[in-house]
Amino acid sequence: MAMRDLITGATSCPDPSASSSSQNPLGSLANALIGSSSKTQERLREIPTSNSTGLASQFYSEPLSQLPGSEFDKPFLEANSQGSEFLNRFRSAGAGGFEETWDEIQRDGSQLRLYDGRGQLPPQLHQPALDGTPQRVLSTFLHSFLDSSRGGIPFHPASLPVLGLSEGDKQCIRDRSSIMARHIFADKSEEFIHAQVNALLSSLDIDSNVRGKGPMPERFRELDDYWNESQGNMIQGAHASDGWISEFSQNRERYDNPDAWANSFEQQHGVNGWVSEFEHSQLSSVDQMRGMNMSNIAAREQTRMLANTLAQNADPKFQNSKFLQFVSKMSRGELIIDDNQVKETALPAPGDWASEYQQQYNHGDAWAGEFLNNKAFSGVRPEQWANEFATERQQNGAVDDQWVDEFSNLRVNDWAEEFGEQVGEGAFGEDSSNNWAQAYDEFLNEQYAAKQRSDSSRGVYVFSDLNPYVGHPNPLKEGQDLFRKGLLSEAVLALEAEVLKSPENAEGWRLLGIAHAENDDDQQAIAAMMRAQEADPTNLEVLLALGVSHTNELEQSAALKYLFGWLRHHPKYGTIAPPEMSDSLYYTDVARLYNEAAVMSPDDADVHIVLGVLYNLSREYDKAIAAFERALKLKPQDYSLWNKLGATQANSVQSADAIMAYQQALDLKPNYVRAWANMGISYANQGMYDESVRYYVRALAMNPKAENAWQYLRISLSCASRNDMLEACDSRNLDLLQKEFPLQ
Amino acid sequence: MPVFKTPFNGYSVKFSPFYENRIAVATAQNFGILGNGRLHVLELSSNPSLPITELIAYDTADGVYDVTWSESHDSVVVAAVADGSVKLYDLALPPTSNPIRSFHEHTREVHSADYNPVRRDSFLSASWDDTVKLWTVDRPTSVRTFKEHAYCVYSAVWNPRHADVFASASGDCTLRIWDVREPGSTMILPAHDHEILSCDWNKYDECIIATASVDKSIKVWDVRSFRVPISVLNGHSYAVRKVKFSPHVRNLMVSCSYDMSVCVWDFMVEDALVSRYDHHTEFAVGVDMSVLVEGLIASTGWDELAYVWQHGTDPRAS
């Protein structure tokens, strides 16, 4: 199968009949070129200025032949029946073209001398050596093409032989380039990516309306609608005018000698040529205005955006990227497939420019009308103008900047403005695309605002709606009692009433934070603790709690800040913590300070606790376990410490030990929601999903607001193949869950 | 010279898990947009000054986007082909009997393949048709199809410890964790705001996974606490194409990007970027670390070159 498959290619084509009859275009191109390479070589050698040697080495710094593997860089497609069939086509279509091309080059060469504004010697024409492998041929071809165009030298390459793209091939190009463009132009808008791909496709003559792989469904659904809407209504008029203007100015820059420009213009059209052409073009119909050229111009405008994007990356590697050149060339319309023939179109030479200019007139029916009015106002008749131009030119000789300036200032700007006005009035349906752009901006702003909101909502304490303790004579005392009894959710309400009454009560906020932490709600715990810290910035318990909560949330830098603060404000250890260090905290520095503190007072359980927390941050679980165990020797009744030990053991994959530690914590404090939830995690880690579900449900029954526990429950339910209960989980039906998963 | 020239644009490179001097390179013509593909199997010389030699190469009708070595047979490789097929090649058999299998179920390009390192009898393929498929060598059809992602799946990778667990990275901006014994995904991580192109599990902590995205960042996650990433690695200036954890050093990982560089990171330290290799002159799209030789890295890119070098040395030094 191998050989045949290789040549026929494109088996991903949706229509098998299409692919079987077609050839892999690039492979066949290669075939043809290799098959007739000897002939090509000869022909090239006859061309005196052609550079048929060493082009490859010009593009690849290292000598390819010395690279291992380059010996495989030989034609892998042997000419078989299909190849020779192709060859025939090539000989008739392509090889003959070389002669014509050569003539063309000769002609252009003479023109070049005329138009080369910088007065340099006519540049050497690059003619790629059309030998080597398929890939190399195409690549070298395009590469040298771009190379020459970079220097502002019009380049007329030999036309490539027939490149029949089957429908399957086109689909491949369409789909794959869309997907890849999204990777490469990630920070551009979807609109931009779309434009890039469309430019590429239209220059390859591929219908871009048949959408292959659309944009990402989630993110861009709204945008997609906008886009489709705007596409539906938009006539590409605005693009065309923009394109024209920028093209004009570009050309003006390149051929910055106006003399040359005028010369060429006159030569091509005669002094009055422009006028008659203009008049002729005025007659052209609106149909023409909507014709093919429009999309070409629009595509070229989009290409300029691409070129700008590429130019924005100053990295020379990027500027030299063959791939980016390949893409940009295709989208620049330098590679055009016309009647299934690849045509390399040169950058517009001066003569081309004039005809292009004229072509563009064909579309501007409304625009042309405007121009007519304009003429009427200014009272300059075209013939007069042309005459004036001619005489003035004779008088002024070389200095014709004036004319060009005048031309560009007076006419182009006026037209552009007026055209813009037209567009603004909706004559071209352009307003819908403006709407689109606005809506897109709004969408972005909204997204940004939403992100800001979610960022700022972190650290903002959210109060419960209905609080029976509001108005209670001493809610702090009530809260403390409830907390001691282990009624955490009730204690939270009482403490909320307290801090509503006296927002500066650090103790109220602190206890509220601890109640939340024990209730397995770190977000609220952090918010409450931050308020406590505001009220009393040096409270050690608060700083420690904040450090632990941030560690739980894996926010290392915040955790380090508070743990360092604990040390700073501690009466015993404040001296070893240099205040200037707080500007840039590194984990290793903070850990070192705490180790010093532990040496200073080995019997301070708090220091060992913080060390344990720090080792959790660095994921050195064995050290963390040792630190917590040391602390527990000093404070065996600290249930939260048992919980910390358990969590650390669980993290270091000692889930069985962890369950023992959690059990200790629960023995000391039966309503410790966090320990119940952690117990569930440990069972889940051991693959005992049924057990874990029971513990999660128990924790949630005590505090339904523990978001994490709901998530874990869902995972355990699906792992335990209890998908029947997922619904109950999603609807937070605790009654049902408790009935289904009782804890014995 | 630790470099090999491939005729087509490189797409992926993988070290053999059996021979320390063997690598497979997946390539595609015309940047993978249109044309043929070729799968190379290369031998490194024991003497680093000697060139890389080609053991064998297999041609395909469409680009080869990824390759993975069998974990059970030292001579078997699996190729992910852009025409939607997954092909198995046995280097021990004559070229005429290869490919030994060609599975054609995916309806779009297959972008990655990964062989199960624990069970060693099955492998995954991830495709632009939004699905992941599970295959075994002996079955003519896929064992299962995992269809939840809403956009292209760029990569699906087995957990190194749990035989039934894998993760998938998709253009729908999510990472999903799956257990093949379960009907649906067990976890959905909205890991980035942009497409996710690659993911890999830590080889020492089976709960840690890294994601690489078009947003230029790599994020490291603990699946037990997935609201906040453990670490966010910034440094690439274009989309990150592939990420891979070191088989030897717990916190070390390697990545390659459309910014043409290959980077080595330590995700647990403040200055996470350990080294940056700028040897490629086109998009660097394939990277791997040797399981058998510590610190040995291979990379390939659209500059049609495959490099193999020791971490800390210059890939271009001969």
Q: What is the ipTM of this complex?
A: 0.86
Is residue B107 classed as helix, strand or coil in its secondary structure? Answer: coil
**With an 8 Å Cβ cutoff, are A76 and B303 in contact?**
no
Report the half-sphere exposure of B101 (CA within 13 A, side-chain side). Answer: 18
> In angstroms, rounded to a whole number, what is the distance separating the alpha carbons of residues A410 and A413?
6
Asked if A31 has any chain B CB less than 8 Å from its own CB, the reply is no
Q: Is the pLDDT of residue A580 over 60?
A: yes
- pLDDT in the model for residue A424: 44
Could you report the per-residue pLDDT of A179-201, keeping only the tens digit for each? 887 887 766 667 766 766 666 66
Could you report the per-residue pLDDT of A143-152, keeping only the tens digit for each? 333 333 333 3
Q: Where in chain A is the domain with CATH 1.25.40.10?
A: 458-537, 540-740
Which residue is closest to A220 within chain B, CA to CA? B172
Asked if B162 has any chain A CB less than 8 Å from its own CB, the reply is no
> In angstroms, rounded to a whole number, what is the distance separating the alpha carbons of residues A378 and A628?
91
- Looking at the DSSP bridge assignments, the partners of residue B299 are B287, B307
The residue-averaged pLDDT of A396-414 equals: 46
Q: Is the pLDDT of residue B317 over 50?
A: yes
Could you report the per-residue pLDDT of A194-223, keeping only the tens digit for each? 766 666 666 556 665 554 454 444 443 344
Nearest to A68 among B51, B152, B171 (CB): B51
Of residues A279 and A612, the one with the higher pLDDT is A612
Nearest to B31 among A216, A326, A555 (CB): A326
- pLDDT in the model for residue B232: 94
Of residues A84 and A504, the one with the higher pLDDT is A504
**With an 8 Å Cβ cutoff, are B195 and A586 in contact?**
no
> In angstroms, rounded to a whole number, what is the distance separating the alpha carbons of residues B201 and B245?
7
- pLDDT in the model for residue A84: 35
**With an 8 Å Cβ cutoff, are B194 and A317 in contact?**
no
For residue B295, the distance in angstroms to the closest alpha carbon of chain A comes to: 23
What's the CA dihedral at B261, B262, B266, B270 to 10 degrees? 0
Chain A residues 45-84 with a CB less than 8 Å from chain B = 64, 67-70, 72-73, 76
> Tokens 């871009």 belong to which residue?
A208
Q: Is the pLDDT of residue A467 over 90?
A: no
- For residue A588, CA distances in Å to A262, A579, A593, A602, B182 come to 72, 16, 9, 20, 42
Task: Look over chain B and give the mean of its residue pLDDT values, rounded to a whole number.
Answer: 92
Which residue is closest to A133 within chain B, CA to CA? B7
- pLDDT in the model for residue B267: 93
- Looking at the DSSP bridge assignments, the partners of residue B76 are B90
- pLDDT in the model for residue A684: 84
- pLDDT in the model for residue B123: 96
Q: Is the pLDDT of residue A275 over 50?
A: no
- For residue B157, CA distances in Å to A139, B141, B160, B242 come to 35, 20, 9, 12
Chain A residues 533-592 with a CB less than 8 Å from chain B = 552-555, 586-587
Asked if A168 has any chain B CB less than 8 Å from its own CB, the reply is no
- pLDDT in the model for residue B114: 97
Residue A39 corresponds to which amino acid? K
The residue-averaged pLDDT of A605-633 equals: 88
Asked if B118 has any chain A CB less than 8 Å from its own CB, the reply is no
Percent residues over pLDDT 90 in chain A? 3
Choose among B226, B121, B216: nearest CA to B167. B226
What tokens does A307 get?
A: 């070129």
The residue-averaged pLDDT of A370-383 equals: 47
- For residue A266, CA distances in Å to A51, A282, A312, A402 come to 33, 21, 37, 17
**With an 8 Å Cβ cutoff, are B230 and A554 in contact?**
yes
**With an 8 Å Cβ cutoff, are B239 and A183 in contact?**
yes
- pLDDT in the model for residue B182: 87
Asked if A88 has any chain B CB less than 8 Å from its own CB, the reply is no
For residue A11, the distance in angstroms to the closest alpha carbon of chain B comes to: 6
Domains of chain B plus CATH, in order, are 3-310 (2.130.10.10)
- pLDDT in the model for residue A363: 47
Report which DSSP code applies to A653: T
> In angstroms, rounded to a whole number, what is the distance separating the alpha carbons of residues A529 and A520?
14
Q: Is the pLDDT of residue B254 over 90?
A: yes
Which residue is closest to A23 within chain B, CA to CA? B35
* Highest mean pLDDT pick, A77-81, A101-105, A556-560: A556-560
> In angstroms, rounded to a whole number, what is the distance separating the alpha carbons of residues A384 and A392?
12
CB A153 within 8 A of CB A351: no
- pLDDT in the model for residue A165: 65
State the CATH architecture for A458-537: Alpha Horseshoe (1.25)
The residue-averaged pLDDT of B30-50 equals: 86
> In angstroms, rounded to a whole number, what is the distance separating the alpha carbons of residues B224 and A476?
36
Contacts of A177 (CB under 8 A, 6+ apart): A197, A200, A201, A327, B33
- pLDDT in the model for residue A433: 46
- Looking at the DSSP bridge assignments, the partners of residue B245 are B253
Which residue is closest to A72 within chain B, CA to CA? B7
Asked if A211 has any chain B CB less than 8 Å from its own CB, the reply is no
- For residue B17, CA distances in Å to B70, B117, B120, B136, B165 come to 8, 10, 12, 19, 20
Choose among B162, B127, B159: nearest CA to B145. B127
> In angstroms, rounded to a whole number, what is the distance separating the alpha carbons of residues A711 and B86?
36
Least confident of A233-237, A691-695, B256-260: A233-237
What is the band of B64 on the pLDDT scale with cuts at 50, 70, 90? very high
State the CATH architecture for A540-740: Alpha Horseshoe (1.25)
Which residue is closest to A557 within chain B, CA to CA? B270
Nearest to A73 among B5, B29, B260 (CB): B5
- pLDDT in the model for residue A164: 56
Asked if B229 has any chain A CB less than 8 Å from its own CB, the reply is yes
Of residues A521 and B286, the one with the higher pLDDT is B286
Which residue is closest to B185 within chain A, CA to CA? A718
Q: Is the pLDDT of residue A515 over 60?
A: yes
Q: Is the pLDDT of residue A242 over 90?
A: no
Q: Which residues of B touch A9 (CB under 8 A)?
A: 35-36, 61-62
Which of A554, A622, A722 is the best substitution to test chain B (most B C-beta atoms within 10 A)? A554
Asked if B34 has any chain A CB less than 8 Å from its own CB, the reply is yes
Asked if B31 has any chain A CB less than 8 Å from its own CB, the reply is yes
The residue-averaged pLDDT of A721-737 equals: 86
What's the CA dihedral at A9, A14, A17, A20 to 10 degrees? 0
Which residue is closest to B188 within chain A, CA to CA? A715
> In angstroms, rounded to a whole number, what is the distance separating the alpha carbons of residues A591 and A613?
10
Model confidence, pTM: 0.51
For residue A261, the distance in angstroms to the closest alpha carbon of chain B comes to: 39
Q: Is the pLDDT of residue A355 over 80?
A: no
> For the residues of A255-320, what is the DSSP string, one character each?
T--HHHHHHHHHHHH-TTHHHHHHHHHHT--HHHHTSHHHHHHHHHHHHHHHHHHHHH---HHHHT
What is the band of A651 on the pLDDT scale with cuts at 50, 70, 90? confident
